[in-house]
Amino acid sequence: MSEEPIVAGTATDVSKQRRGKRRGDRDAAPQAPIAGIRRQIPTYDILSEGALVAIEQTADRILAEIGIEFRDDPEALRLWREAGAEVTESLVRFPKGLVQSILRSAPSSFVQHARNPARSVVIGGDTVIFAPAYGSPFVRDLKDGRRYGSIADFENFVKLSYMIPWLHHSGGTVCEPVDVAVNKRHLDMVSAHLRYSDKPLMGAVTAEDRAEDSIEMARLVFGADFVDQNCVILGNINVNSPLVFDATMTNALRAYAGANQACVIVPFILGGAMGPVTIAGAVAQSLAETMVGCALTQLVRPGAPVIFGNFLSSTALRSGAPTFGTPEPAVGSLAIGQLARRLNLPLRCSGAFTASKIADGQAMSESAMSMLAAVQCGANFILHAAGWLEGGLTMGYEKLILDADFCASLHRYLGGIQIDENQLAMSAFEEVGPGKHFFGCAHTLENYRTAFWESEVADNGPFEQWQDGGERDSVDRAGRRAKKLLAEYQAPALDPAIDEALRDFVARKKATITDQWY
């Protein structure tokens, strides 16, 4: 077990790596390093100053007049009482301005280090990071249909996310490995992320000791001192909306924030169920809840990185069924983006949401609506960017590929329009003139290699070619691509001493735990 940081994200460390024995490993990686996107177009701001203030005032009233409940967590109540909040049994009410003032110590942007420094990401400012979907008990592929996820599926999704350059992050619970005991899953999941990928990752949040184990495993890789000073693992903390934080979540929050690791605070609001049916109200509630969760991280450890999260969707009010990728949460995300920027916090918003059971037209249309809102609102960390089906119940192999292709297109979209002499192309017009074509002109030859984004899954060829090829739809093509990527997968190199330390840690922990299956 090594305490030395094997990889670290500073410039010095990067240059050491490049001179060192690991250089060859990185060169053998399946794609050029793309550690996130820098958004080069403005955010899409739809609300006026007056509208934003009205929502902020409603959030303030919710916090001051209704309050937030912290269940079964005396330590959280103590922190709030000391900070100046009004605590009555488990209910906390917040004087106007308190949480905003606490939030000032939170960084507006931070680096999450990956064990391969070329894959470290900046979260905040104008960067955009895509991570796969999170938390599905089921998985689906064309061959075997829908079934419970296994650790083999989990490893497959980690491998696929590693292979796909358009996903910058390995995510967390990419599916539930239902064949592993509930209280041991986190060990196998964090191991898989660290072993099968070298991208940044998320740890467990389902119990305090599991969160601590996750962070301890990160320490084995990055070194304890490095981890104390740098973010290397994220924890996704859901609010039990409306207006409740459960002890499970606040305990996990304290584990991550206390270790200087980043929490993503996520109010989980389906309008009509866990929030009101009006978007302005749901956004105000979301703002109130996430501000409180983010502020709690700062009470635990001022300066700890934290992400302003949001999960907003609607319900079909005749049936009560949750709906995803609908227009109301999309405009809600645009509003949330404006509100997060006013607090100067990194933002997480929506993802490739859909209620569809399969990666059909409904799925991709809903996912596009949701993902475009996420990038347009300025979200920095986009969880569920690929794979999500059936309201999050299912992780789809083909859906992962199709969504990742959409993520690829968003890299180009967020690049916007460059304006310079070459881009304005006056030389092309001079060469070609009226009525001719641009295929062979000098400007085209100079620019065509990088000119247009090309999908890795779309079929753009002639009809007859598509027909002769068996009339495959995009799910079919995506399934073939997933299979091909998995067949070609090669693990990123891992120091054998670290590998051994991780295996040892997992074996020792498992030996002390009695399986729990629910």
Of residues 325 through 354, those in contact with a copy of itself by CB under 8 A are: 326-328, 330-332, 334-335
Cα separation, 253 vs 262, whole angstroms: 9
Pick the closer one to a copy of itself by CB: 70 or 196.
Answer: 70
| Residues between 476 and 495 with contacts to a copy of itself, criterion CB under 8 A | 478
Which letter, b or e, does each residue of 174-185 get, where b requires 16 or more Cβ atoms within 10 Å of its Cβ?
bbbbbebbbbbb
Instruction: List the one residue from 28, 317, 491, 513 that touches a copy of itself (CB under 8 A).
Output: 317
Peptide bond into 42 cis (omega under 30): no
Cα separation, 95 vs 97, whole angstroms: 6
Token pair belonging to 223 = 């070194």
| Residues between 139 and 158 with contacts to a copy of itself, criterion CB under 8 A | 146
Return the closest-CA partner of residue 217 out of 199, 236, 204.
204
Answer yes or no whether residue 442 interacts with a copy of itself by CB under 8 A.
no
Asked if 455 and 409 touch (Cβ cutoff 8 Å), the reply is yes
| Residues between 208 and 247 with contacts to a copy of itself, criterion CB under 8 A | 240, 242-244
Pick the closer one to a copy of itself by CB: 28 or 46.
Answer: 46
Question: Per-residue x/- mask for a copy of itself, residues 29 to 68, rule CB under 8 A?
Answer: ------------xx-xxxx--xx--xx--x--xx--xxxx
CA dihedral 15→19→25→26, nearest 10 degrees, is: 30
Instruction: List the one residue from 28, 152, 316, 491 that touches a copy of itself (CB under 8 A).
Output: 316
CB of 242 vs a copy of itself, minimal distance in Å:
6
| Residues between 391 and 420 with contacts to a copy of itself, criterion CB under 8 A | 393-394, 402, 406, 409-410, 412-413, 416-420
291 Cβ partners below 8 Å, 6+ apart?
59, 63, 99, 100, 103, 308, 343
CB of 424 vs a copy of itself, minimal distance in Å:
5
Pick the closer one to a copy of itself by CB: 423 or 514.
Answer: 423
| Residues between 418 and 437 with contacts to a copy of itself, criterion CB under 8 A | 418-420, 422-426, 428-430, 432-437
- Candidates 205-213, 379-387, 438-446, 484-492 — which segment interacts with a copy of itself by CB under 8 A? 438-446
CB of 156 vs a copy of itself, minimal distance in Å:
20
Instruction: List the one residue from 64, 142, 368, 493 that touches a copy of itself (CB under 8 A).
Output: 368
CB of 257 vs a copy of itself, minimal distance in Å:
22
CB of 43 vs a copy of itself, minimal distance in Å:
9
Instruction: List the one residue from 7, 346, 474, 492 that touches a copy of itself (CB under 8 A).
Output: 474
CB of 333 vs a copy of itself, minimal distance in Å:
11
Residue 119 DSSP label: G
Could you give the angle at the alpha carbon of 492 between the alpha carbons of 166 and 348, nearest 5°?
A: 35
Chain centroid to Cα 17, Å, comes to 27
Q: Between helices 361-376 and 397-413, what is the axis angle to 10°?
A: 40
Burial label, 96 (beta-carbon count in 10 A; 0-12, 13-18, 19+): exposed
Asked if 33 and 119 touch (Cβ cutoff 8 Å), the reply is yes
Residue count at the site for a copy of itself (CB under 8 A)?
127
Answer yes or no whether residue 278 interacts with a copy of itself by CB under 8 A.
yes
Instruction: List the one residue from 209, 473, 495, 499 that touches a copy of itself (CB under 8 A).
Output: 473
Pick the closer one to a copy of itself by CB: 425 or 486.
Answer: 425
Pick the closer one to a copy of itself by CB: 128 or 283.
Answer: 283
Question: Per-residue x/- mask for a copy of itself, residues 98 to 137, rule CB under 8 A?
Answer: ----------------------------------------
Could you give the angle at the alpha carbon of 209 between the alpha carbons of 207 and 213, nearest 5°?
A: 120
The residue with tokens 């979907």 is 133
Structural Rg of the chain based on CA atoms: 23
CB of 119 vs a copy of itself, minimal distance in Å:
24
Cα separation, 70 vs 73, whole angstroms: 6
Answer yes or no whether residue 87 interacts with a copy of itself by CB under 8 A.
no
CB of 276 vs a copy of itself, minimal distance in Å:
4
2 Cβ partners below 8 Å, 6+ apart?
220, 223, 495, 497, 498, 501
Q: Strand pairing of 262-270 and 306-308?
A: parallel
The residue with tokens 């490993």 is 25
CB of 428 vs a copy of itself, minimal distance in Å:
4
Pick the closer one to a copy of itself by CB: 160 or 410.
Answer: 410
CB of 307 vs a copy of itself, minimal distance in Å:
23
